[in-house]
Structure 1
Amino acid sequence: MRAVFRNISAFRRRSLTPLHRIPTSGFTTLDSVTKIEEERLPHYDPSVFYPVRIGEVFEDRYQVLGKLGFGSNSTVWFCRDLQEHRHVALKVCISSQKPSRELEVLKHLAATQASHAGAHFVRTLLDSFVIQGRAGTHHCLVMEPLLASLHDLQQTLNPKSLTEDMLKTSLQQVFAGLDYLHGRAKVVHTDLQAKNIMLSCSDSSVFEPWEKSEIDEPALRKVDGNRVIYKSREFNLQRDMRGIGRCMITDLGMARIGVQHEGFVQPEAYRAPEVMLYMPWTSAADIWNVGVMIWDLFEGEHMFHPGGTDRKLSNARMLGEMIALLGPPPSYLLRRADETLAYWNHDAQWKGFASIPEYTLEDVDVYLEGKSKEDFMVFMRKMLQWEPERRFSALDLLQDQWLNS
């Protein structure tokens, strides 16, 4: 196995920046039977996660200072770039025989972003490399460190919803990023939700308290044989509010390159009707995602509520709610896929596997009124359309009256 952790004394002679002092004591070790972080994920397999250690140095360059987070396919670490004298985020993917989809997309973006203003709002790749673990190859992605997601920001607010001005500013930046992804790069994100819209750092000094906190109060950890599972350390948004910068679209691990696609994508509560009904889909599925995400951010709850003992019942519940908010789908749309016959008959009549709620889109908005509400409803209906081709593009949405008022 390739040696990744370098001899400190030898590395110190080669490094441009002194290695960071990592505490060797003073931390709390949890009981070995306690499951934390990635161990709590469904179908967790420790053999496919690379056992990163705080203090470890990768590529004679990136020293791990702490853990930022985890997902089903990776762990993310806060590091110091010892050559460029800056902080970076290191995403260490699980081992896989397949090429990294996210790395493929990020490299594609690197070749297409020239001079497009919207690229400023999409997280890009700074560096990449591979390491060898016990289970095989791990792709490692080096990116700009970000502070938190819009979802995290939302949790600091009271009430837990973005203000109208905060929402408008965020959406202007998201649509600018999507205009770049859809228009220039021909990439569909497929997983747009508040947790994947993150806030950049406008003042790098906010990283210093985070770094110091790891020294003063080392992260909780659990030792499992040769593996150490660390507790993630979040940035303190209330303390570091001065450092909040622009919104950035992140997590391109499920993205697709190209104009038209087939197959199941998107989290269930955000799934566009054409995806649910096994129709071909395009970047318009992302536009639907944004419309549904707005409800999470502004109204504080999901717009649609999947649930049921199987996929058909869950889809029927969501489709019934879509009918309530948008009206029934046009018959010509239903003729595009045989899957629609599971929910509508040949005459485009709803079969009634789930009830249709008695409310409208206007009824469920609880924050706006008067002209502002009217304009907001017009804006929402530009995204929430049964027919993908009737949804406005990201570029067109940037010109919306409500968004710019």
Structure 2
Amino acid sequence: MSTIQDLTQFPCVELVNYYCPGGFHPVHLNDTFKNGQYRVIHKLGYGTYGTVWLVHDTILKRYASLKILAASVSSSHSEVAVIQHLQQHATGSGKEYVVEIFDTFEHTGPNGLHHCIVMEVLGPPISSDIGEIYSDERFPFEAAKRMSTQVAHGLGYIHTAGIVHGDLHMSNILLHSPTISSWTSDSDFEKYLHPPRQRTLMLRGTKKPAAPSPHLPSYLVPVNYPDLLLQLCLSDPTQIHVKICDFGEAFIPSRQLTPLRHHGIPISYAAPEVIFGDPIGLPADIWALAILIHYIISGGFLFPSFCGIRKEVIRSMVLTLGKLPERWWSKWEERGEWFNEDGEWWKDGVKVFPKLDGSGGKLETGQGEIGKFNKILKKMVRYDPGERASIDEVIEWMNQNAWLVN
């Protein structure tokens, strides 16, 4: 029996298997949503929970980003509720470093009921390949400080509402440019994104198109790699502006409002309480922020591992911070591969201790400031969540050391 080709040879398209009852909503170019208000004109991205589209708001005459959650996720997911809580309860500064939400609504399609979130259009994530812009594949030190401080202020704004972001990493920090906000016609965005393409769904092993199905789109729209948009957002290091996005893993501990799962953060950014399945709160974001800032500055992980393997991440933690608390140490079944029960390295050969200095030995400038940052960094990655620095402490340190946001 022939099956539908999943087009995985095109890494910029989602798996066709996601389109099924309870799955993704099939979207085509020029489709409209919410009584015709939002017209689809391009594909911006996709993930585990849904797809993201560039749309034109025909009422407000502006471009926006439309995230359409999978139907099964929409029935039990808290992202919309978290966003509404953020809009109602967050206070203080830092709002300009969090993605702006314009609208939320529901849409019923052949695969079920989908929650939809309309947001401002942002640029590529800071995890994008910057090698053609910065030859050493690292952000300039002053730009790295600026971005780090902006993320901290954005997280501070989120934390004022009692929300745990839960998924703070490089791919969820997006670049912003005022030029994007000034787009008035399709030719404006096509200059940076290129016109959308269409990939026909084919039967595997044949050259025949798949039979039409209400659960499937008739074609997939690949995500274009926005090199020109990346260059636009990074054209002036003194004006770099980033924003935290994606509240798919966010939750509110005080209301026990949790998403379908909240341990989806990449293992290299995960705090030990996340890794070992303990209850998590705001301190888990502080741990992730420390990893994120270290990566922005140095281009490497604070707790390096091979391909983000869980046991190697934990090993790097122990080498850097010492033996885990007993409640986690006894749960770590692989500990005997490297350590005795006192947490001492027993294997032959030279053990390499990662540097807890924010630099990884790579920076040629700013070493004095990195040495100062080491102090707050150490407090951000304390094993005990209750002993970690709060976001207010992190921001206060940045203010005292002139890590400016603007």
C-alpha distance in structure 1 between counterparts of 2:271 and 2:229, whole Å? 34
The equivalent of 1:118 in structure 2 is 94
Cα offsets for 1:264-294 (capped at 9, x unmatched): 4521111112222333322111111111122
Give the CA deviation at 1:328: 3.2
Quick one: which of 133, 141, 149 aligns to 1:172? 149
1:78-89 map, 5 Å: 78-89=54-65
C-alpha distance in structure 2 between counterparts of 1:169 and 1:219, whole Å? 33
C-alpha distance in structure 1 between counterparts of 2:269 and 2:28, whole Å? 36
The equivalent of 2:362 in structure 1 is 366
C-alpha distance in structure 1 between counterparts of 2:367 and 2:192, whole Å? 53
Cα offsets for 1:272-324 (capped at 9, x unmatched): 1222233332211111111112232222223334459xx9xx44322221122
Quick one: which of 18, 29, 35 aligns to 1:54? 29
The equivalent of 1:230 in structure 2 is 221
One-letter code aligned to 2:326: L
Q: State, as a whole percentage, how many aligned pairs show the same letter.
A: 24
C-alpha distance in structure 2 between counterparts of 1:88 and 1:112, whole Å? 24
Gaps of 5+ in 2: 202-211
Q: Is the 8 A contact 1:100 1:139 kept in 2?
A: no
The equivalent of 1:270 in structure 2 is 269
The equivalent of 1:357 in structure 2 is 351
C-alpha distance in structure 1 between counterparts of 2:38 and 2:19, whole Å? 23
The equivalent of 2:326 in structure 1 is 334
Q: Is the 8 A contact 2:122 2:177 kept in 1?
A: yes
Look up the SS of the partner of 1:398 in the other structure.
Answer: helix
Cα offsets for 1:79-121 (capped at 9, x unmatched): 11111111111111112162332112111112213x4222332
1:3-402 map, 5 Å: 34-35=7-8, 36=10, 41=15, 44-47=17-20, 48-59=23-34, 60-96=36-72, 98-113=75-90, 115-152=91-128, 154-155=130-131, 156-182=133-159, 184-203=160-179, 204-205=181-182, 208=185, 211=188, 213=190, 218-224=195-201, 225=212, 226-233=217-224, 234=226, 236-239=229-232, 241=234, 246-258=241-253, 264-306=263-305, 314-329=309-324, 333-335=325-327, 339=331, 343=335, 348-349=342-343, 357-359=351-353, 360-362=355-357, 364-367=360-363, 368=365, 370-400=367-397, 401-402=400-401
Task: Give the TM-score of the pair, scaled to structure 2.
Answer: 0.78
User: Aligned pair in 2 of structure 1 residues 126, 322: CA closer, same or farther (>3 Å)?
Assistant: same
Give the CA deviation at 1:372: 2.6
Look up the SS of the partner of 1:55 in the other structure.
Answer: coil
Question: What number of residue pairs does the alignment pair up?
Answer: 365
User: Aligned pair in 2 of structure 1 residues 38, 240: CA closer, same or farther (>3 Å)?
Assistant: closer
C-alpha distance in structure 1 between counterparts of 2:372 and 2:282, whole Å? 24
Q: Is the 8 A contact 2:305 2:316 kept in 1?
A: no
The equivalent of 1:10 in structure 2 is none
Q: Is the 8 A contact 2:99 2:245 kept in 1?
A: yes
Give the CA deviation at 1:339: 2.1
C-alpha distance in structure 2 between counterparts of 1:176 and 1:268, whole Å? 24
Q: CA RMSD in A?
A: 3.5
Q: Is the 8 A contact 2:63 2:183 kept in 1?
A: no
Look up the SS of the partner of 2:318 in the other structure.
Answer: helix
Look up the SS of the partner of 1:151 in the other structure.
Answer: coil
The one of the two structures with greater contact order (alpha-carbon pairs below 8 A, sep at least 6) is: 2
One-letter code aligned to 2:276: L
Moved more, 49-58 or 238-247: 238-247
Look up the SS of the partner of 1:141 in the other structure.
Answer: strand
Look up the SS of the partner of 2:220 in the other structure.
Answer: strand
C-alpha distance in structure 1 between counterparts of 2:284 and 2:316, whole Å? 18
Q: Is the 8 A contact 2:99 2:244 kept in 1?
A: yes
C-alpha distance in structure 1 between counterparts of 2:177 and 2:298, whole Å? 26
C-alpha distance in structure 1 between counterparts of 2:38 and 2:147, whole Å? 31
Gaps of 5+ in 1: 1-30
Cα offsets for 1:201-229 (capped at 9, x unmatched): 32323575764628996322112345220
Look up the SS of the partner of 1:376 in the other structure.
Answer: helix
User: Aligned pair in 2 of structure 1 residues 277, 32: CA closer, same or farther (>3 Å)?
Assistant: closer
Cα offsets for 1:366-401 (capped at 9, x unmatched): 215652332132232132222222221111111214
Q: Is the 8 A contact 1:320 1:357 kept in 2?
A: no
One-letter code aligned to 2:290: G
C-alpha distance in structure 1 between counterparts of 2:273 and 2:372, whole Å? 26
User: Is residue 404 from structure 1 mapped to residue 381 from structure 2 by the alignment?
Assistant: no
Look up the SS of the partner of 1:138 in the other structure.
Answer: strand
Look up the SS of the partner of 1:379 in the other structure.
Answer: helix
C-alpha distance in structure 2 between counterparts of 1:320 and 1:290, whole Å? 20
Task: Give the TM-score of the pair, scaled to structure 1.
Answer: 0.78
One-letter code aligned to 1:392: A
Look up the SS of the partner of 1:152 in the other structure.
Answer: coil
C-alpha distance in structure 2 between counterparts of 1:292 and 1:62, whole Å? 37
Give the CA deviation at 1:192: 0.7
User: Aligned pair in 2 of structure 1 residues 121, 38: CA closer, same or farther (>3 Å)?
Assistant: same
